[in-house]
Structure 1
Amino acid sequence: MPSQPPLDRWFSSERGMGLAASILIGVVTVTVWATAWSDWYSYQALKRYADDPDRLDEADLISGSLGMVSALVLLAAAVVFIVWLWRVRWNAEMFCRGEHRFTRGWVLGSWICPVVNLWYPKQVVDDIVAASDPRTPPQTLDLREIPGTQLVWAWWLTWVAGLVSGNIVQRGVLGGATEVGDLRTNVVLSTISALFTTAAAVLAVILIQRIDELQTKRPWVPWWAVGEAQTGFQPPAR
C-alpha cells in the first residue's frame, strides 16, 4: 500500500453543503403544505362557487402558481442534496476499503432511473453510512456485511410513501379533475403525501447531521495509509 494518498484524492468537510441541503429540504416541506392547502382551496371553490368562473379561475391560478414554485424548490433541494451526497460518498471511499454496491455515478443515477429509484438510493446511503462510521475498520472488504441503520430505513420508507401518494395525487385522480368528489380525494391524498414528506424531510435533516458527525469523528486517514493490523472486521452493532 502507498504511504501517501494519490494527489487527486482528499478529504473535505461537507457541513456547509449539508446545511444548505437541510434548509432547502425545510423549504420543500413548506411548499408541500402550501400545495396541499391550494388543493383544499380548489375543492372548496368548486363546492361553493361552481357557477362563478372568476372564483374557479382564481383557484386555478393559485394552484398553478404554487405548483410551479414547489417544483422549482424541489429541484433546487434535489440538486444540492445530490451534490452533498456525492461529496460525502467521496469521503466514504477514502475512509474504508470496502467496495460500494454501486459506482459513484449511481449517486445521481439511482434517483432518476425508473423503478430502481425505489430502493437504489437507500443502498447508496447505507454504504456511505457504513463506510463513514468510525466503528467500521478501514480494511473492511464488504460494506454489505454491515447492517443498515434504523434511521436510513425510516427516512427511506417515509420518502417512498410520500412519493407514491404524491404521484397518485398528480397523475391519478387529480389529472384534469373537475368533479367535487375527485377534488375531495385529491385533498385527502395531498394531505397524506404532505404528512409523509414532512416526516421524510425531518429524518433527512437528521441523516445529514448524522453522516456529518460520523465523518467528523472518524480520523481523516485514507484506508490505504492504515496498517494491515486493522484487517479484522466485526460488524458494528446498530
Structure 2
Amino acid sequence: MPSRGSQVPLDRWFSSERAMGIAASILIGLVTVTTWSTAWSDWNLYRTRKLYGNDPDKLAEADLISGSLGIVAALALLAAAVVFIVWLWRVRWNAEMFCRGEHRFTRGWVLGCWLVPVVNLWYPKQVVDDIVAASDQRTDPLTPALKDIPGTQLVWAWWLTWVAGLVTGNIVQRGVLVGASQLGDLRTNVILSSVSALFTTGAAVLAVILIQRIDEMQSQRAWVPWWAVGAPHSGFQPPAR
C-alpha cells in the first residue's frame, strides 16, 4: 500500500536519532557475537558426538550449551530488531518532512514489512531505499515519488548479505536440519552455521555503516520541511535545534 507522502505531517518536528542509532549499532554488534557463539556451539556439538558418541553426560552438556546460547542469541536478535525498527520509524518521520515524495509504503509497513512472510525478503529494503532517497540533500524536496530514485550500493549490499544470512541460518539450518543427530547432518549444520555467521557479520557491519550514513545525511541537511521550501516570506520560523 503506498503512503500519502504529500500530506503535511504537522504532528511532530525533526529530531536527531543519533542516540537511537548508536544503541541499535551496539545491539547489532551483540547479535554478531551471539551468532558466532551459536556457530561454535554447533561445532562443539558435532565434535562431542564424534569423540564421545556413547557418553550421554557429554552429549547432554553439549546440548545444554547449544540450547542456552541459542536462547541468548534469540534474545539479542529480538532486542536489536526492536531498537532498529524504532530507529527506522523515527528516521522515516524525518524523511517525510525533508521531502514531499511519496514513499512506496505507509508508515505502518516500517514495522509490518519485517513480519509478513515472503514480502519481508524485499519490502524492508524498499522502505530503507525511500528513507535514504528522501534524506539525501541532493533530492528535490518537492520530488513527486521516491521510487524513481535509484537505490544505493550500500543498501543493496546490506540487504543481500542479510537475506543470505537469513536463508542459511533460519530456513535451511533451523528448518531442514532441526533435530539432526547423525554426524553427517551435524557436519552440514556446522558449515551452514559458519556461512550464516559470515553473512550476518557482513550484514551487521553494513547496517552500522548505513545507520551512520542516514544519521549524517539527516544531520547535514537543513531542517526545513518541504512545504516551507521556497516560501521565505510565509512567516515560517524553524524552532531551535
TM-score normalised by structure 2 residue count: 0.91
What is the letter of the counterpart of residue 82 of structure 1? I
Residue of structure 1 equivalent to 2:176: 172
Report the Cα distance in structure 2 between the residues aligned to 1:113 and 1:88, rounded to whole angstroms: 22
| CA–CA distance in structure 1, aligned partners of residues 221 and 161 of structure 2 | 29
Deviations 1:161-208 (A, max 9, x none): 0000012111112x1111111100000000000000000000000000
* Alignment partners' CA distance in 2, 1:90 and 1:170: 36
The answer as to 2:175 corresponding to 1:184 is: no
Q: Which residue of 1 aligns with 2:206?
A: 203
SS in 2 for 1:144: coil
Residue 132 of structure 1 corresponds to which residue in structure 2? 135
Find the partner of 1:153 among 156, 165, 178. Answer: 156
- Which of residues 54, 58, 65 is equivalent to 1:51? 54
Distance, in Å, in 2 between the alignment partners of 1:142 and 1:183 is 49
| 1:116 aligns to 2:106 (yes or no) | no
Q: What RMSD, in angstroms, separates the aligned Cα atoms of the two structures?
A: 1.2
Deviation at 1:8, TM superposition (A): 1.6
Greater CA drift, 90-99 or 136-145: 136-145
Secondary structure of the residue that 2:188 maps to in structure 1? helix
Q: What code does the residue aligned with 1:77 have?
A: A
2:87 aligned with 1:84: yes
**Aligned-pair CA distance for 1:228:** 7.3
Q: Structure 1 segments of 4 or more deviating over 3 A?
A: none
- 1:178 aligns to what SS in structure 2? coil
Q: CA deviation at 1:9?
A: 2.3
Paired positions, count: 224
In the alignment, structure 2 segments of 5+ residues that lack a partner are 1-7, 233-241
Q: Does 1:141 align with 2:144?
A: yes
1:25 aligned residue: 28
Q: What one-letter code is carried by the residue in structure 2 that aligns with 1:135?
A: R
Unaligned runs of 5+ in 1: 230-238
How far apart are the structure 1 equivalents of 2:9 and 2:106?
Answer: 19
TM-score, normalised to structure 1, is 0.92
